[in-house]
Every structure is written in structure tokens, then in C-alpha cells.
Amino acid sequence: MEKSRGHGSVYGSFILDRRGTLLGFDDELETLTGWPAVTIVGRNGSQRRRAVDGGTTPTLFDGEIALPDDSRHINLVLNCRDGRKLETESRVTRLAGPGEQMLVTILRVISLSAVKPAPEHAARDPLTDLLEQDAFDDQLTRDFETASFTAHPLALILANVDQLSSINNLLGNEAGDEVLHRLAGILRVRADDESRLFRLDDDNFAVLLPGSGRGEARQIAATFRSTAERYDFFSDAASEPRIRPTLSLGAASFPADAENETDLIARAKEALAEARAMGGNRVWCYVRRPRVPLQVPVFFDGDETLLVGYTRDVSPSGAFVQTSEPMSIGMRCALAFPLPGQKGKVHVIGRIVRTVPTDTSPDSREVRIPGMGVEFERFSGFSDRQAIDTYLHAREATTLRPEDGTFSVRGS
């Protein structure tokens, strides 16, 4: 069945170099294919590469995509995460610059193969039908081992019902149980993978997000919160006191916020406690360390270098990149940049979480630096994350001198 969207709209896009290495991947394509961008950005997405490495590399598309002189239309078959195939009409456009990169835009989905059946799960909480604490502990261990081995991110969301004790006192425990049951349904609908959704105890829930960083965890948690806030839990009890249950949620991620399982849980709990301390019904992400000034060039991490822009600042979890043409929010990019005093470049997969356009208003009194905020979601290896930590620790050690308290070091 052919599918199409309104005039001017597309199904998503990705960036790759002439050898097929994926350099960028946007939110729309994640939704279309089911692939978390961090699992495939920085890897070769072609079917030929999958044959070379014995099938261990995820393949986004069948065949090869040739670099055009300008722009052309092609028929492209995309491979979804669940095994389905999408036949599409797509446009390939050569990107300007010295490197040989191209933008592939999905214009139309022509056909879709059948969906494979979902796996069965066991050991569920009888009230909510969600997996329990033991399953959470086991899954966290497995996901953390995978994240550590592959250098992929792993996010954890902890959620708590703000008014459950008041509901139990005013309406009874049965009403409280009904709230938990319905909240589980909300979480189940909004979570991509039910096998990583858990009821830990009482009114506490957990969501594991393999392949996701803090930015994506924040967005998913915000969806949980807003859906619960709008939901009418007691529509059938017009005579009862009007209590509107809400959710407080805290999020933390590896490797940006934690280096082991224990720290990841502790920091998600810290974020949850902060959300509750601020009045509840909100999302809070763990904050590890402020950014420090740094100006170095940032490149697409492909076979041919292509300058993206220059950093303004950097932290263990991200950087702000100054560029006159920011990419769209949600785009994942394979990036590389040097650090002063260290050999080689740091290689990361980053997600664009905010953009600052060029201010063309003649009446503007504010100097605004155009660019984009990039959240690091995957490091190519442990040494890359360690390089950032080493650099920042060195900066912190030399920021202030006891004798005058004013000494600082420039990053460039």
C-alpha cells in the first residue's frame, strides 16, 4: 500500500559518505525504521558491508548508493529493526564542501512487508502486568554490559506517582490500585519496548532505554508526564473528590552521568528526588558538571573531512557547536574534534538537541552566536570519553590558583 504525506513533507533523512558510512540520522527516520540512531550512526549501512563482516553490522538499506554530481531520485529499500522492509522513493543530494558526503531524503513509502510477531515475556507484576524488580536488575546488568562493550549510551528513567497516598486515604486502596494499573497502560503505550518497562515497588516505575542518551530520555519522560497529567483517572466517579494523579520523573544516562550500574541508579534517584522537591509533576535530568569554554574545529567523522563548525564549550555530556547553518533538532551525527594537549581526535555520536539561528533582525540589541547544542550519545571507545574527562579535570585543576583566585586557562 502506497503511503504519502502532505505537500513538502518527508519521512526522514540521513547523511552518509561515498563508502556508505552513516554520518547523520534524524528523528523521523528513527520512527519510520525503528532503529535508534546511535546503534547505526558511524557504521556502514550498506548490504555489501553486512556481507563482509558476516552479518554483525546492522544494515539500513539494500545495495549501494552512488554519490551524485548534484541530486537525483532513486528507489531505495530500507531495512527496519523488526525485520520488515520498506520500499521507498528517495532523493540523493550531494552536500557542499570538500568532503564527499550526501543527504538521502525519504520522499515516499511505496510498500511495507509484514510485521514479525512480538516475543512473549513472563514474571510480571499481577496488578500492572509489568516486569518486576528482579527482572529489572537482570536486564540492567545485561544492558549495561552491552553498552560498556559497544560504547553505546544507556538511559534510565525512574517515575513516581505524586499523590498516591492521598488517593488511598480519600478514595481507598482499590482506587489507588486502579491508578497504578492505568498508569502502567500509559507507560506501556508510550514506551518503545515493553521488555524494559518495570514496576519496582509500590508507586515506583523504571524504564531502561538502551541506545538513548539524556536528551531522548528527557523527551520520553516528558511524554509520560504530560499524558498522565491530561488523563482523567476518575471519570466514572463524579461524586468523589477530584484528585488528579501526576508523575515525577528523574533520568540519568551512561556514559554521560555514570560509569557503572550503581551510579546510574543513584543518579536517576537524585534526579527523581529533585523533581519531587520542586513540587512534582515534572521531569528532571541529572546534572553532572557544567560546560567549560573551548574553541576547536568539529568535523563529520567520515572518510573525507568536512568542517561542521567550532565548539564554544564542552562537557562530558555534550558541546555547543557554532555554525551558521545548524542541522535540524533530532539529527544524529558522527563527529570528531581535537582536544588541546592530547593526541588525535575525540570521536562521538551526537544528537542535536537545540539550535540557535542566525539573528538577521536589524533592531536586535543582543549578540547571539548561531549554532547548535549537541548531546553526546555514544563514544567510539572508552578512550574517547576518558579524553574528555582528563581534559576537563586538567582545566578544573588550573582554573583557580590559591594565591590570587583569578587564574584561568584558555581552551584553544
Same fold, 133-285 and 292-361+368-399: no
Task: In whole angstroms, give the CA distance from residue 53 to residue 76.
Answer: 22
pLDDT tens, residue by residue, 253-302? 988 788 789 989 999 999 999 899 888 999 998 876 667 889 999 999 87
Domain ranges of the chain: 12-112, 133-285, 292-361+368-399
Lowest mean pLDDT across 54-58, 83-87, 311-315, 327-331: 54-58
Lowest mean pLDDT across 31-35, 51-55, 155-159, 190-194: 51-55
Structure confidence at residue 372 as a pLDDT band (50, 70, 90): very high
* Mutual angle of helices 164-171 and 173-190, in 10-degree steps: 140
pLDDT number for residue 155: 93
Q: Could you tell me which CATH class the domain 133-285 is placed in? A: alpha beta
Task: In whole angstroms, give the CA distance from residue 337 to residue 297.
Answer: 6
pLDDT tens, residue by residue, 149-187? 666 789 999 999 998 888 888 888 888 898 998 888 888
Structure confidence at residue 338 as a pLDDT band (50, 70, 90): very high
Question: DSSP secondary structure string, 324-388?
Answer: SSPPPTT-EEEEEEE-TTSSSEEEEEEEEEEEE-----TT--S----EEEEEEEEESSHHHHHHH
Beta-strand pair 332-338/318-322:
unpaired
Say which residue, 39 or 69, is predicted with more confidence: 69
For residue 347, give the nearest of 338, 359, 336, 358 by alpha carbon. Answer: 336
Pick the CATH number of 292-361+368-399 from 3.40.50.300, 3.40.50.2300, 2.40.10.220, 3.40.50.720: 2.40.10.220
Q: Which amino acid is at 65?
A: I
Burial code (b: 16+ CB inside 10 Å, e: under 16) for 265-282 equals: bebbbbbbebbbeeebbb
Q: What angle do CA 336, 339, 342 make, to 5 degrees?
A: 115
pLDDT number for residue 409: 30
Say if CB 254 and CB 264 are below 8 A apart: yes
Please name the residue that has the C-alpha cell 574528555. 388
CA 89 to chain centre: 27
264 in helix, strand or coil? Answer: helix
At the second CATH level, the architecture of 12-112 is 2-Layer Sandwich (3.30)
Query: Is the whole-model pTM more than 0.85?
Result: no
pLDDT number for residue 335: 93
**pLDDT higher than threshold 80 for residue 398:** no
